[in-house]
């Protein structure tokens, strides 16, 4: 059940041989870094003196960046506006060696930008520029057509739903029908308000707040966790559910098996932005490389522990993942993983 050194080496060595499609809401993350030395005379808010700025891939694009960093080939499918932000998006995709050929231009939408102001390593405020209406029928057809054009090539599909309108119920149903017919592994990073649309998936990766909200029961203890995890598994007819629990690690629920609880591997938490993207990307890359569900969950947990030690969305490669897993093996952390 638990990962050992041989399995770590075997799986991480096999990462990098798969095409993985990422379907979802593509975003830009803008970071404004500065310092605070005074309070504004206009309102009781800090004045941030900006010293630097940075743009990073966000949303589904950050999942693609994580897949690329691990070594697999990401096929990024979604929409972007016809605006200045889309030009910057394409530049970043090119820098990360991610093709933009499957990104559909939608002139009725703006490219989503999330702007975070960081002062003294703390987020002060976030401002969003976005369009959140659902795709119109014609754009949805174009997205699905591009999905069909590569469905025979991919080992897995990641649905990255941030509730910005790309993952419509009808698009999701059509994609799932094809994936089930072709036996393609499907992983979903869910939006809680769409939770019950994600039927028959291979794995869904909510945090404990999203899982509790979707099931209608707040997770306060292990009994609540078991009820929510097993209950959602049945309701969604899913093969597995991986509930991320912050400082308490993760819990994996599977068809016909006891739950597996994995302790956190985090060293120090600086920024949880994008941690869910790393979890699902690492999980799916591990599955594509031959890991079972429990092994993939342990590897995803280790990956997330590395990225939240960075400020801003971060990625890891297979070499870093292997080193972290080996370190945890030496420290006996992986052997604390328990079923039940």
Q: What is the pLDDT of residues 29-43, one digit of tens each?
A: 999 999 999 999 999
Per-residue pLDDT, averaged over 209-216, amounts to: 94
Q: What is the pLDDT of residue 265?
A: 65
Show the tokens assigned to 300: 């995803």
What is the rounded distance in angstroms from the CA atom of residue 25 to the CA atom of residue 29? 12
- Please, what are the domains in the chain? 5-339 (3.40.1190.20)
Average pLDDT over residues 58-66: 95
Is 277 a catalytic site residue? yes
Lowest-confidence pick of 202-206, 247-251, 261-265, 292-296: 261-265
Three-state SS at 209: helix
**The pLDDT value given to residue 339:** 57
pLDDT at 334 over 70: no
For the cut 50, the answer to whether the pLDDT of residue 71 exceeds it is yes
Please state whether beta strands 338-339 and 46-59 pair in parallel, antiparallel, or not at all (unpaired). unpaired
- Integer-rounded Cα Rg, in Å, for the chain is 20
**What letters, b where the CB count within 10 A reaches 16 and e where it falls short, cover 88-105?**
ebeebbeebebebebbbe
Residues 140-160 have a mean pLDDT of: 98
Cβ atoms of residues 21 and 154 within 8 Å: yes
Mean pLDDT of 59-81: 97
How far apart are the two ends of the chain, measured CA to CA in Å? 13
Task: Specify whether the CB–CB gap between 271 and 310 falls below 8 A.
Answer: yes
- Name the token pair of 336: 């604390």
CA trace torsion 174, 180, 182, 183 (10° rounding): 150
pLDDT tens across 254-313, in order? 988 899 999 876 555 444 455 789 999 999 999 999 999 999 999 999 888 887 655 555
CA dihedral (206, 287, 293, 265) in degrees, to 10, reads -70
For the chain, counts of helices (H) and of strands (E): 10, 14
User: Which pLDDT score is estimated for 307?
Assistant: 74
| Alpha carbon distance 126, 271 (integer Å) | 14
Tell me, what's the pLDDT at 335? 47
Q: CA-CA distances (angstroms) from residue 288 to 72, 190, 234?
A: 9, 21, 25
pLDDT of residue 128: 97
What is the C-alpha separation between 205 and 242, in angstroms, rounded?
Answer: 5
- Residue 41 burial class via C-beta count within 10 angstroms: exposed 0-12, middle 13-18, buried 19 and up: exposed
**Dmax (CA) of the chain:** 62
Which one from 29, 72, 106, 277 is the annotated catalytic residue? Answer: 277
**Cα–Cα distance between 77 and 23 in angstroms, integer?**
5
On average, the pLDDT of the chain sits at: 91
Lowest-pLDDT range, 1-5, 233-237, 244-248?
1-5
pLDDT of residue 101: 96
Q: How far is CA 24 from CA 27, 103, 171, in A?
A: 10, 10, 11
Q: Is residue 28 over pLDDT 60?
A: yes
Q: What does the pLDDT read at residue 271?
A: 44
Residues 156 and 184: beta-carbon distance below 8 Å: yes
Query: What pLDDT is recorded for position 249?
Result: 87
- Residues comprising the chain, all counted: 340
Closest to 126 measured CA to CA, from 116, 136, 135: 116
Mean pLDDT score, 98-108: 96
d(CA 286, CA 295): 8
Whether the pLDDT of residue 16 is over 90: the answer is yes
Residue 107 clears pLDDT 90, i.e. is over it? yes
| In the predicted structure, residue 50 carries a pLDDT above the cut 90 | yes
Q: What is the pLDDT of residue 340?
A: 55
Query: What phi and psi, each to the nearest 5 degrees, are found at residue 61?
Result: -65, -35
Give 223: exposed, middle or buried? Use CB within 10 Å, 0-12, 13-18, 19+. Answer: exposed
pLDDT at 185 > cutoff 90: yes
Range 203-209 average pLDDT: 95
């Amino acid at each position: 059940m638990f990962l050992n050194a041989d399995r770590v080496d075997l799986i991480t060595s096999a990462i990098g041989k798969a095409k993985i499609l990422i379907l979802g809401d593509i975003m830009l993350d803008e970071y404004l870094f500065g310092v605070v030395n005074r309070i504004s005379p206009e309102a009781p808010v800090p004045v941030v003196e900006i010293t630097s700025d940075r743009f990073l891939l966000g949303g589904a694009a950050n999942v693609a960046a994580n897949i690329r960093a691990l070594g697999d080939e990401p096929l990024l499918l979604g929409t972007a506006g016809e605006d200045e932000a889309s030009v910057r998006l394409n530049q970043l995709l090119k820098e990360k060696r991610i093709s933009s050929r499957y990104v559909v231009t939608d002139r009725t939408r703006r490219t989503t930008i999330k702007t975070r102001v960081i002062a003294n390593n703390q987020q002060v405020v976030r401002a969003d520029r976005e369009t959140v209406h659902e795709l119109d029928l014609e754009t949805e057809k174009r997205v699905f057509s591009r999905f069909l054009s590569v469905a025979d090539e991919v080992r897995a599909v990641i649905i990255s739903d941030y509730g910005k309108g790309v993952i419509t119920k009808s698009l999701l149903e059509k994609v799932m029908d094809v994936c089930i017919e072709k036996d393609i592994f499907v992983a979903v990073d869910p939006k809680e308000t769409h939770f019950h649309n994600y039927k028959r998936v291979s794995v869904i990766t909510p945090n404990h707040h999203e899982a509790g909200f979707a099931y209608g029961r707040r997770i306060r203890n292990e009994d609540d966790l078991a009820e929510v995890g097993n209950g959602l598994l049945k309701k969604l007819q899913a093969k597995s559910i991986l509930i991320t629990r912050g400082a308490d690690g993760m819990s994996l629920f599977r068809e016909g098996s006891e739950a597996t609880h994995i302790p956190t591997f985090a060293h120090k938490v600086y920024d949880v932005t994008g941690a869910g993207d790393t979890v699902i990307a690492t999980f799916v890359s591990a599955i594509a490389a031959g890991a079972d569900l429990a092994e993939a969950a342990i590897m995803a947990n280790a990956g997330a522990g590395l990225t939240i030690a960075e400020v801003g969305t971060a990625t890891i490669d297979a070499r870093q993942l292997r080193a972290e897993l080996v370190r945890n093996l030496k420290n006996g952390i992986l052997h604390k993983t328990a079923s039940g």
